[in-house]
Amino acid sequence: MTYNDIRKVFLDYFEQHGHKIVPSASLIPNDPTLLFTVAGMVPWKGILQGVEPAFAPRVADVQKCIRAGGKHNDLEDVGFDGRHHTFFEMLGNWSFGDYFKEEAIAMSWEVLTKVIGLDPNKIVVTTHISDDEATQIWKKLTGKDAIRLDKDNWWSAGETGPCGPCTEMHYDFGPDVPGGLPGSVDEDGGRFVELWNNVFMQYDRDANGVLTNLPKQNVDTGAGLERWAAVLQNKTDNYDTDLFVNLKHAVSDLTGVKETDENKPSFKIITDHLRAVGFAIADGVIPSNADRGYVIRRILRRAMRHGQILGHRGDLLSALYPALVEQMGDAYPELKANEKHVVEIIRNEENSFDDMLQNGMKLLESELPKVNNNILPGNIAFKLFDTYGFPLDLTQMILRDKNMNVDVNGFEKCMLEQKERSRADTRGTRVLWESQSDLPDTNDIEKYETKTSNPSKVLSILRGEEFVKSANENDNVEIALDHTPFYGTQGGQVGDTGIFKIGDKIVMNITETNRVGNVVVHKGVLVAPIKVGDEIMPEINQQNRQQIARAHTATHLLQAALRHVLNEDVEQRGSKVAPDSVRFDFSFGRALTAEEKQSVEDLINKWIAEDLPVKHEWI
C-alpha cells in the first residue's frame, strides 16, 4: 500500500464507524508553548483537557507534524537512521467522551489485521502496569498477553490535570533484524517498531498526586504514517518507502548523482527537509532569525549543505518543491495553492545562503589544517559568525561531517566580549544616567497633550561625564526634569526638539530627547546659566512634532499597504520615524518588484487623498 492508499483506507474506516473526518490543522499551533504542531493531539488539547467544548463526539484525521525545535527535536538524528523525521504525518482517531477502551482497542485491532492485513502473530501489544482493564480486553479480543510497562505507557498533560494509561501496538520485523521487545534494554535495535498508541484519559491528578476519575473519558490515538508504509512495504527503513523513493529520484535527476551507501544520509536529509521546509512555508512560516522561522531556516540550510556534499550548486529545495507537490499535493492542496509563493521564498533563502556559504567555507578550509585535537578554536567559529553570518550550529554541522567539534566556550567568550565592546561604544552617557538610582521616573504624560506647557523642575544636570549642580552659557548638557511634554526617542520614533525658558528668556535649545529607562533626558546647548532646582518652562517645537506625527501615520499606512499588496506575511522588524523621512524595516521572502512598489505608493496616496480621520484614544 502506498502513502495515498493508507491515508484513504484509514479515514474511510473511521468515517464508516461514525467519526467526523477533518483536515489537518496548521503546523503553526494555537499554543504559545510550542513552536510547531508536534503531535496529532495538539489541535485538540483544549478539548482533551476539558477547557473547550467538543464539536463532535468522534473525530479522525491525518495531522502534519514537525519535531525540530524546543523539547520536541529530532533534527540531529535525521539522516543517520531510518525512522527519524523532522516532518511526519500522524494518523489519529479521537473520542471526546464517547467510546472508551474496549471499542478503541477493537477498532485498532481490526484496522491492523483486517483492513491493512498485517499478520496478527507479528503484532506485540503493551499496556500500563496498573491497567488491568486494557490488559484483559486484549486477552479477550485477541488472546494476546500484553507486555506491562510503567512510564512508557502513561500519558499526562502536565504535573497536574488529565492523565491516563496507554496501550501500544508494535510490529515484529523478525529475528533477522537486531533488537529486543518493547521495554527491554535493546528495544531500540529496530526489530520492533511502534505502530499505534492509544491513550486513555480517565483521571485527573491533583497537586498531591491523587487520581480521581474524570467526568468524561477521552481516547487520543496516534499512528505514524511513515512507519505504517515501511511495514506494509516490507521495509525496515522509512526512507525506502514509495514516497521517499520518488523524492530521492527527483534529487538524483536534479544533482546527477545516484544514491549509494556512502551518500545515503544526504539523500535522506534532503528529502526529509524538503517536506519540512515546503509544508512549513506553505502554512505561513517565513525563514528568519527567531523562533520557528529560525528552525525552518536552519533546516533549509542543512539541506543545502548536503546538496553541496553531493556536488550540487544552485537551487535545491526550490527546484525539488514541484516533486513534493506531485507526491503529496492531492492529500494537501495547500502545497499546490501556494507553490509560487513557497518556491520564491525558498529560492531567495538559497541564493543568500549560497553566497554566505562560499565565502565562509574559504575561511574555514584555510583554518582546518591548523586545528589541533579536532577542535576548531572558538575565535575562528566566532569570526565565521561575525564576518560571514555562519551561526554556530552551521559550523558544528559542517565539522561533524569531518569528525570535528568547536570550542563552544571559546566562541561564547568572543561573543560576550563583542557585546561588551558594543555596549561601551553605543551607550555613551547612558551608563552615567543609569548610575543615578535615586533619580525618580519622569512624568511624561504631557507628551500626548502638546498644546499646553506647564512649569517643570530641574532635577539633574550632566555635563561631559560629570553630574553638576549648575552649568553655564555654551555648555553642552543633558538635563532631567520632574515632568515634561517632550517625547523621548522610543518605538522607532525620534525624540522632540524645542527650548527651555526661565520666565520669558530662553535658557536652552533642545536638539535631542532620549529615554534612559523611565527617565527622559533632554540634550542640547545652554544659552544662559541653569542650576538644579530651577523652575523652567519646557516648550516643544510644534512644527517638528507635527511633521513627526505625519510620518508616524505614514508608517502605519505603509505597513497596511504592504500587507495589502503583498500578503499578511509582512511583519514589521523596525522603523525610524523622523520629521523629514520614514524608514520601515519588514520581513518578506524577497525584494519587491517595481510594479509592487508602485502599487504600494499608489494605495498610500489614495488613502491620503481620501483625508481619512486620524484620532487617538485611551483604551
Residues 355, 381, single domain; the answer is: no
Q: Is pLDDT at 421 greater than 80 in this prediction?
A: no
pLDDT attached to residue 157:
64
Region 278-292 average pLDDT: 87
Query: What are the DSSP calls for 239-292, one per residue?
Result: GGSHHHHHHHHHHHHHH-----TTTHHHHHHHHHHHHHHHHHHHTT----SSHH
Range with the lowest mean pLDDT among 43-47, 311-315, 393-397, 506-510? Answer: 393-397
pLDDT attached to residue 387:
73
**Which residues make Cβ contacts (< 8 Å) with residue 443, sequence separation at least 6?**
482, 483, 484
Question: What domain range includes position 462?
Answer: 432-540
Query: Is 355 a domain residue?
Result: yes
Backbone angles phi, psi at 457, to 5 degrees: -110, 135
Residues 271, 381, single domain; the answer is: no
CATH of the domain at 583: 3.30.980.10
Q: What is the pTM of this model?
A: 0.69
Residues 566, 511, single domain; the answer is: no
Over residues 470-487, the pLDDT tens digits come to: 999 888 899 999 999 999
Residues 421, 444, single domain; the answer is: no
Per mean pLDDT, which of 97-106, 394-403, 548-557, 563-572 is the most reliable? 97-106
Residues 209, 284, single domain; the answer is: no
Cell numbers at 424, concatenated = 561601551
pLDDT attached to residue 425:
46
Q: How confident is the model at residue 452 (pLDDT cuts 50, 70, 90)?
A: low
Query: Is 614 a domain residue?
Result: no
Contact 344, 279 (CB under 8 A): no
Q: What is the pLDDT of the chain when averaged over all its residues?
A: 89
Q: Is pLDDT at 411 greater than 80 in this prediction?
A: yes
Question: What three-state secondary structure class fits 531?
Answer: strand
Region 531-549 average pLDDT: 90
Over residues 453-473, the pLDDT tens digits come to: 789 999 999 998 889 999 998
369: buried, middle or exposed (CB in 10 Å: 19+, 13-18, 0-12)?
exposed
Contact 270, 315 (CB under 8 A): no
Which position has the grid cell 499606512?
557
Q: By percentage, how much of the chain surpasses pLDDT 90?
A: 53
Region 167-180 average pLDDT: 93
Domain endpoint, select from 503, 524, 540: 540
Residues 125, 31, single domain; the answer is: yes
Residues 351, 393, single domain; the answer is: no
Per mean pLDDT, which of 212-221, 287-296, 424-433 is the most reliable? 212-221
Region 316-323 average pLDDT: 97
Range with the lowest mean pLDDT among 166-175, 176-185, 390-399, 525-534? Answer: 390-399
Domain endpoint, select from 502, 518, 540: 540
Domain endpoint, select from 540, 572, 587: 540
Query: Is 615 a domain residue?
Result: no
Query: Is 367 a domain residue?
Result: no
The residue ranking higher by pLDDT, 255 or 162, is 255
226: buried, middle or exposed (CB in 10 Å: 19+, 13-18, 0-12)?
buried
Instruction: Tell me the one-letter amino acid at 332.
Output: Y
**Which residues make Cβ contacts (< 8 Å) with residue 92, sequence separation at least 6?**
40, 41, 60, 61, 62, 63, 220, 221, 222, 223
Residues 305, 380, single domain; the answer is: no
Query: Is 23 a domain residue?
Result: yes
pLDDT attached to residue 428:
53
Query: Is 63 a domain residue?
Result: yes
CATH of the domain at 48: 3.30.930.10
Give the total number of structural domains in the chain: 5
Other Cβ atoms closer than 10 A to 442? 23
Region 610-618 average pLDDT: 83
Share of the chain residues as helix, strand and coil, in percent rounded to the nearest 5:
40, 25, 35
Query: Is 617 a domain residue?
Result: no
Residues in a beta bridge with 126: 147, 168
Q: How confident is the model at residue 426 (pLDDT cuts 50, 70, 90)?
A: very low
Residues 51, 198, single domain; the answer is: yes
pLDDT attached to residue 446:
85
Query: Is 466 a domain residue?
Result: yes
Residues 56, 140, single domain; the answer is: yes
Helix and strand numbers, DSSP H then E, in the chain = 17, 24
Residues 31, 92, single domain; the answer is: yes
**Closest Cα partner for 198 from 57, 93, 120?**
93
Residues 249, 179, single domain; the answer is: no
Q: How far apart are CA 295 and CA 36, in angstroms?
A: 10
Q: Is pLDDT at 528 greater than 70 in this prediction?
A: yes
Backbone angles phi, psi at 572, to 5 degrees: -65, 135
CATH of the domain at 522: 2.40.30.130
Q: How far apart are CA 550 and CA 220, in angstroms?
A: 55
Which position has the grid cell 485611551?
618
pLDDT attached to residue 409:
93
Contact 502, 484 (CB under 8 A): no
Per mean pLDDT, which of 14-28, 206-220, 383-397 is the most reliable? 14-28
